Chain A
Amino acid sequence: MSSLYEQLGGEAAIDAAVDKFYRKVLKDDRINSFFEDTDMERQAAKQKAFLTFAFGGPNNYTGMDMRKGHAHMLEKGLNDSHVDAVIEDLAATLTEMGVADELVAQVGEIANSVRDDVLSR
């Protein structure tokens, strides 16, 4: 049985997903205000790192990075509803790309596993 990362198509799939996902996030009025002043290229690199993690790919994920990276957003009111929105946008991206529902659900679970770190709980 190949890994989730391999089943999804590895790095090529991530490259294909990252633009679509980031575009959805920027168009999503529930969360786009958090990204108004960000450096878009750096943000795209972070999205790629996040997708690599969520796809079950190679990563050096540490909860500390997620905590530090979102601390300034907590001050602006980041909460569970925003995490829900991001996971929803991610699932919609994958579904549009033709990924099977079962795999989309697995990605959603991995993404959801960082919720407490993102919200510093």
Chain B
Amino acid sequence: MPNIHVDGATFERAPDETVLECLERNGVEVMSSCRTGVCQSCLVQAVEGAPPAAAQTGLRDTMTKQGFFLACCALPEEDLTIDLSGAAGREHHPIVTSIDKLNDRVVRVRCEPDAPIDYFAGQFMNVVGPAGDVRSYSVASVAGLDSYIEFHVMLLPGGKVSSWMHDGLNVGDTLTLIGPQGACYYVEGSPDQPMALAGTGTGLAPLYGIVRDALRQGHSGSIHLFHGSVRADGLYLVDELRALANEYENVFYHPCALEAGGDDNGIEIRAIDALVEATLPELDGYRVFLCGHPDLVKAMQRNVFLSGASMGEIYTDAFLPAGGASKA
């Protein structure tokens, strides 16, 4: 029988014993509930070895690609090394190479990793601040296109890490990053599928990465990118995104804001959820990505689901405030 490796220990699997049963028999605690592959409580990750396909039924493709599987349904035919931490990720120490203002409140921080970091555009990484505070930032760069890792950092009132990244961080400094994590990213295999992406504020960062990653992989289906802000001058990368939409005939860029402000030429004054609904009233068959303010992500998730998008095709990344899950 193949073995199961966890945290440096090795357990021999008994015949017909699931991974979950094997771990429990050896005193390893794993959360579980239905034990029939429905509730997904016993989700674990194989970091080495291929989990059986039957134990990945019903999981999102972004999860199966990272080796996640359901321990209760797994009768593996080869040795598996299992991570029970939910993929907290490894630590990296890249050097900051540029810090650029994208608007009054957002800076773009780019850094060169000391060793290649394996990530998907749209995942997030935890940035460790000078006092040990940790905040999550989505990766806006694309592995395979960019040598750097890019973050968009919004200055938040009282934000310990964001104010340090705006005012205390310098080119040449070393950053401490942990990750990557998250399941909000592009997966190849359906190049014709239409896509809708909507984000507010720095919710653009993962979406910008996902759009460029999709194009890099030759995505030919339509790609609608909605970016919303309170004021029109809270948007950023407007020129770059307009250029991208001009370059690719399948890319459509929809900037919007609740109030005018600054140079708002061509920016729709409308709430982002209303604009998505008016532009794409029928979302059956779409893959949808929603990032940014948690209330808006939630409202849009409901709207796009009722507009016909399948729940399994809706990927969300709500930026929770520090104290919650500390996403900035």
C-alpha spacing A59/B38, complex, angstroms: 8
User: Could you say which of B36, B301, B306, B311 has the most chain A C-beta atoms within 10 Å of its C-beta?
Assistant: B311
Q: Which residues of A contact B39 (CB under 8 A)?
A: 45, 49
Whether A59 contacts B311 by the Cβ 8 Å rule is no
Q: Which residues of A contact B310 (CB under 8 A)?
A: 19
Near B by CB (< 8 A), chain A positions 82-118 give none
Tell me, yes or no, whether B34 is within 8 Å of chain A by CB: yes
The 0/1 profile, CB within 8 Å of A marked 1, for residues 292-311 of chain B is 00000010011001100011
Whether A49 contacts B311 by the Cβ 8 Å rule is no
The 0/1 profile, CB within 8 Å of B marked 1, for residues 59-93 of chain A is 11000000000000000000000000000000000
Whether B311 contacts A44 by the Cβ 8 Å rule is yes
Q: Which residues of B contact A60 (CB under 8 A)?
A: 34-36
Number of A residues, CB within 8 Å of B: 18
Whether B302 contacts A11 by the Cβ 8 Å rule is no
Q: Which residues of A contact B301 (CB under 8 A)?
A: 40
Least CB distance from A24 to B in Å reads 10
Tell me, yes or no, whether A18 is within 8 Å of chain B by CB: yes
Q: Which residues of A contact B58 (CB under 8 A)?
A: 11, 15, 48
Instruction: Using known A-B contacts A22-B311, A40-B311, determine if residue A45 contacts B38 with beta carbons closer than 8 Å.
Output: yes
Q: Which residues of B contact A59 (CB under 8 A)?
A: 34, 36, 38
The 0/1 profile, CB within 8 Å of B marked 1, for residues 16-34 of chain A is 0011001100110000000
Whether B40 contacts A26 by the Cβ 8 Å rule is no
Least CB distance from A57 to B in Å reads 8
> Taking chain A's interface residues, is the majority helix, strand, or loop, or is none over half, making it mixed?
helix
Q: Which residues of B contact A48 (CB under 8 A)?
A: 38, 58
Whether B38 contacts A23 by the Cβ 8 Å rule is no
Tell me, yes or no, whether A9 is within 8 Å of chain B by CB: no
Whether A27 contacts B306 by the Cβ 8 Å rule is yes
Instruction: Using known A-B contacts A11-B57, A18-B311, determine if residue A40 contacts B38 with beta carbons closer than 8 Å.
Output: no
C-alpha spacing A45/B58, complex, angstroms: 10
The 0/1 profile, CB within 8 Å of A marked 1, for residues 33-65 of chain B is 011101110000000000000000110000000
The 0/1 profile, CB within 8 Å of A marked 1, for residues 1-45 of chain B is 000000000000000000000000000000000111011100000
Residue of A nearest to B35 (CB): A60
Given contacts A41-B316, A45-B40, 8 further A-B contacts (CB under 8 A): A15-B58, A23-B305, A26-B306, A27-B306, A40-B302, A48-B38, A59-B34, A60-B35
CB<8 Å pairs between A and B, sample of 24: A11-B58, A15-B58, A19-B305, A19-B310, A19-B311, A22-B305, A22-B311, A23-B306, A26-B305, A26-B306, A27-B306, A40-B301, A40-B302, A40-B311, A41-B311, A41-B316, A45-B38, A45-B39, A45-B40, A49-B34, A49-B39, A52-B38, A58-B36, A60-B35
